[in-house]
Structure 1
Amino acid sequence: MRHRIVLVLGGAKSGKSRFAVDIALRKSGRVLFVATAEPGDPEMRARIEAHRRERPADWCLLEAPLRVGQSLAGHLDGVRTVIVDCLSMLVANIILSGQAVTFSGLEPDAGLEAVRREIEEIVRILSNYRVCCVVVSNEVGMGIVPDNALARRYRDALGLANQLLAREAEEVFLMVAGVPLQIKTGGKFPVLPGSVSEPG
């Protein structure tokens, strides 16, 4: 088995994380859970704890709010399944890192290239292992246009990250009200390849 990526998209409280856990539970072998969130306030700590209770206690935990690809490199030996939960928080952390935002406002690319490099690094590292990686991410591009530049840049960056990973993924699911809708299977989109434009 070569490396395999499964992307699970959806809105808030759509069942994304639960579905990712279910995928891993159906597989044999060691599971590595990669958490990208940081417990910055009581509400976030409560959310993290609620997600922790949904996972088996024997799963390995890797906390990586930034540089997930680099962090994975030293933790994949013997692992059969990886869950990255979630890409949305990783992108936010990149955009809010010192390289992306200054006191004078947004830098010209505001982390877009950093996001692209991070996705490429994750895919590159995974390609060296026989592992299934389930990536959880929010779909934030279906609502109203955000009213500030930082939120718009985050929306754009996450949309780019989702596109890049969807291209590499063998399977893509969209969660709606707890129901998984498969929108890519067998590494193929349900449209002619020539009709799909470059991510942008």
Structure 2
Amino acid sequence: MMLITGGARSGKSRFAEQIAEKRGGDVLYIATSAVTDTEMAERIRFHQQQRPAHWHTFESHRDLGDVVRLKQTEFPTIVIECITTLITNLLFDMAGETEPEAMDFTAIEEHILAQITELADAAQHCETEVIIVTNEVGMGIVPDNLLSRRFRDIAGRVNQQLAAAADDVYLVVSGIPVPVKTSA
């Protein structure tokens, strides 16, 4: 399992896709984004156009451990893009329209971490290479609102969990992958 992290527009997705392409064969690309507005629809379309036509796309943000287990024999490489989007979607699946002050962040985080534990376990024990992309959101200023602070905290703990489980971890900075943890 490989984890690729970095800031927004750092080149982490491109790096993940280059690794997958070099491995050869069919690639399963698990996209965790959901169309929520026209700007997100445009971003999704842009990413779809950048991927090779022979790649297979599966769109979901739930139960990805099960997806990895089911698809591992069909694809030599699975790319999951992106964990922070998955976290956002799972958070709002549970919270719905609840105001941040009324959200049960403990229960939300427990649910998200359970999903991540299942994903990490599946990725560690499968026959294929799993490349996971996430955003590093903890390197900036402390957000000014409760929801953003809680999201940042959850994302940080999720990233720590995935990095601990990964064989290889890269931080991508300005398009340059920097090895953080390597199995070689």
Question: TM-score, normalization: structure 1?
Answer: 0.85
Amino acid corresponding to residue 75 of structure 1 in structure 2: K
- Counterpart for residue 160 of structure 2: 163
| Deviation by residue 1:138-175 (Cα, 9 ceiling, x = unmatched) | 00001111111111110011101100010011111111
Contact kept? 2:31, 2:61, Cα under 8 Å: yes
Answer yes or no: is 1:132 the counterpart of 2:134: no
1:76 aligns with one of 47, 61, 72: 72
**Cα displacement (A) at 1:84:** 0.3
| Deviation by residue 1:71-95 (Cα, 9 ceiling, x = unmatched) | 3333222211010000010011111
Q: Distance in 1 between matches of 2:98 and 2:3?
A: 32
- Counterpart for residue 54 of structure 1: 50
* Alpha-carbon distance change, 184 to 48 in structure 1, aligned in 2, over 3 angstroms: same
* Alpha-carbon distance change, 101 to 72 in structure 1, aligned in 2, over 3 angstroms: farther
* Alpha-carbon distance change, 167 to 52 in structure 1, aligned in 2, over 3 angstroms: same
Residue 82 of structure 1 aligns to a residue whose secondary structure is strand
The 4+ residue runs of structure 1 with deviation greater than 4 A are none
Amino acid corresponding to residue 28 of structure 1 in structure 2: G
Residue 70 of structure 1 aligns to a residue whose secondary structure is helix
Aligned residues: 183
Contact kept? 1:100, 1:109, Cα under 8 Å: no
- Counterpart for residue 63 of structure 1: 59
Map 1:12-31; keep pairs closer than 5 Å: 12-31=8-27
The RMSD of aligned alpha carbons is 1.7
Amino acid corresponding to residue 2 of structure 2 in structure 1: V
Amino acid corresponding to residue 35 of structure 2 in structure 1: P
Q: Distance in 2 between matches of 1:149 and 1:43?
A: 25
Structure 2: state its 5+ residue gaps. none
Q: Distance in 2 between matches of 1:177 and 1:127?
A: 29
Contact kept? 2:7, 2:173, Cα under 8 Å: yes
Map 1:97-176; keep pairs closer than 5 Å: 97-98=93-94, 102-103=98-99, 105-109=102-106, 111-176=108-173
2:89 aligns with one of 86, 90, 93: 93
Residue 8 of structure 2 aligns to a residue whose secondary structure is coil
Residue 45 of structure 2 aligns to a residue whose secondary structure is helix
* Alpha-carbon distance change, 186 to 73 in structure 1, aligned in 2, over 3 angstroms: closer
| Deviation by residue 1:21-47 (Cα, 9 ceiling, x = unmatched) | 000011023210000000111111111
Contact kept? 1:11, 1:138, Cα under 8 Å: yes
* Alpha-carbon distance change, 123 to 101 in structure 1, aligned in 2, over 3 angstroms: farther
- Counterpart for residue 191 of structure 1: none
Contact kept? 1:100, 1:106, Cα under 8 Å: no
- Counterpart for residue 181 of structure 2: 184
More helix by share: 2
| Deviation by residue 1:101-150 (Cα, 9 ceiling, x = unmatched) | 73462214152111211111012223442111111100000111111111
